Amino acid sequence: MVGLGPKPPPSRKGTGLADAPKDLVNEIKHLEELFTIDTAKLKEITNHFVNELAKGLSEKGGSIPMNPTWVMSRPSGHETGSFLALDMGGTNLRVCQVTLTEQKSEFDIIQSKYRIPEELKTGDADELWEYIADCLLQFIETHHGDVAKIEKLPLGFTFSYPATQNYIDEGILQRWTKGFDIAGVEGKNVVPMFEAALASRGVPCKLTALINDTTGTLIASAYTDPKMMIGCIFGTGCNAAYFEDCGSIPKLAHLNLPPDTPMAINCEWGAFDNEGKVLPRTPYDITIDRDSPRPGQQAFEKMIAGLYLGEIFRLVMVDLHKKPSVKLFDGQDVSKLFKPYSLDSSFLSAIEEDPFENLSETLDLFQTKLNINPSHPELELIRRTAELIGTRAARLSACGVAAITKKKGYTSCHVGADGSVFNKYPHFKARGAQALREILDWPEKANPKDEDPIEILAAEDGSGVGAALIAALTLERVRAGNMHGILHPENFK
């Protein structure tokens, strides 16, 4: 059949628009102007990003929090021992036992997942902590037998909610996210609550480190690959972590830490450019921010993270439906399209992955999900809109990576990335790599198979293996006499 062959990847810009109404063609050109970020703009954003990273490390601070994590060494690959890791996500609780073996950079892992009951997410704080303690106890009993005979196992706890850490063994919750809303926890240190539940249930483990998943991604990736210098998450949200020298962190100057000692920094870079100085926000981005629970916050995240990509797309479609000169989906029931956040990034992924020239899979998607029957020219506009939003997200993401490499003076390194957008969104990696090439002025490769100077690669398991490794590194430095950032030294005896 004609027209059903595979389409040329990754973009079919201009294909099939010869028969499109002039208004649709003009609208596509307008969207291209709105969403395309050229090399000069990428460089301007990156340079501002470098300054904002430094500002976040200053005494005064800035929009990007740049939180010291008290992880004060890179893994060597020679760490050994057995450690527990607890990963508290939005849906599941994952308990792991990670054994760091005698073989360099190798580990064994056993793990179990436990679903977090919905009622616990808005219930009583004690009930949540006791449920977590029960899951840990069940895991230890399954894999170790009689808990009364076990020495306390060191535990790394991945707590991926916005929290302030003045110590590695504390975490003051700033706010609940991911559907949790439990009274009496925000503004408080979650560690004593968690430890009280461990004690009441007789769980034989001691909290050694509370960590963020992005920091875990950095450490787990660096354990298996010495070239890894940055850890990133490109998923529902976005973030990065990297090692800074203590001498370059003015807000820690009062502690007189050795200036060349490394400190892993959890950037929380979703807050980049909350002031609106450089990011090229479209009217759709402004609407998303205005209608969000926290307007004026997380400006960068709202342009690149999976949570928002489908919503940006939906707002474009609604706008073009309302526009008298375009009247997208004219005469059809578009009520489903008017529901905020009804389309996620996987909807855009599916559009970009449609392999057929006539976009039949995109047509099916619109019919089943939205009860809309787009014409072929409308399908072409849909495809191009998804490409533009996905490409912009990848190119902006590269600005953050480039900013850290410029700040640190890295001319070649690996970056470990995780998250649903990085792992599943079509062409995200290739588009990000192309943007890095433009920002950092790399020469064209003689051989396309050659590695780029800075490669963004799939990360290791940050919230499991990373948490266990951070527990190991923390114990190691405490034994060597480095007690900086330790709130409860008695837990390390």
Catalytic residue check, 175: yes
The pair of three-digit structure tokens given for residue 347, joined into one six-digit string: 């909807």
The pair of three-digit structure tokens given for residue 457, joined into one six-digit string: 């690669």
Catalytic residue check, 213: yes
**Rounded CA gap, 108 and 465, in Å?**
9
Amino acid at 120: L
**Rounded CA gap, 347 and 97, in Å?**
36
**Rounded CA gap, 5 and 102, in Å?**
52
**Rounded CA gap, 306 and 311, in Å?**
9
Residues contacting residue 489 through CB under 8 Å, at least 6 positions apart? 478, 483
- Cis bond before residue 10 (omega within 30° of 0): yes
The pair of three-digit structure tokens given for residue 493, joined into one six-digit string: 């005896």
Q: How many helices (H) and strands (E) does the chain have?
A: 14, 13
**Rounded CA gap, 131 and 296, in Å?**
36
**Rounded CA gap, 110 and 142, in Å?**
11
**Rounded CA gap, 489 and 485, in Å?**
10
Buried b (16+ CB within 10 A) or exposed e, 425-438: bbbbbebbbbbbbb
Greatest CA span in the chain, whole angstroms? Answer: 78
- Taking 3-state DSSP, the helix, strand and coil percentages for the chain, each rounded to the nearest 5, stand at 45, 15, 40
Measure Cα distances from 473 to 68, 151, 450, 491 in Å. Answer: 15, 19, 34, 15
Active-site residue, selected from the candidate residues 87, 169, 213, 285: 213
| Residue pair 470/219 in contact by the 8 Å Cβ criterion | yes
Measure Cα distances from 56 to 229, 234, 299, 388 in Å. Answer: 19, 21, 16, 31
Active-site residue, selected from the candidate residues 160, 221, 349, 463: 160
Q: Is 236 helix (H, G, I), strand (E, B) or coil?
A: coil
Residues contacting residue 427 through CB under 8 Å, at least 6 positions apart? 9, 10, 352, 390, 391, 394
| H-state helical runs in 371-491 | 376-408, 420-424, 428-439, 467-479
Active-site residue, selected from the candidate residues 12, 74, 175, 201: 175
DSSP state of 65: -
Catalytic residue numbers?
Answer: 160, 175, 213
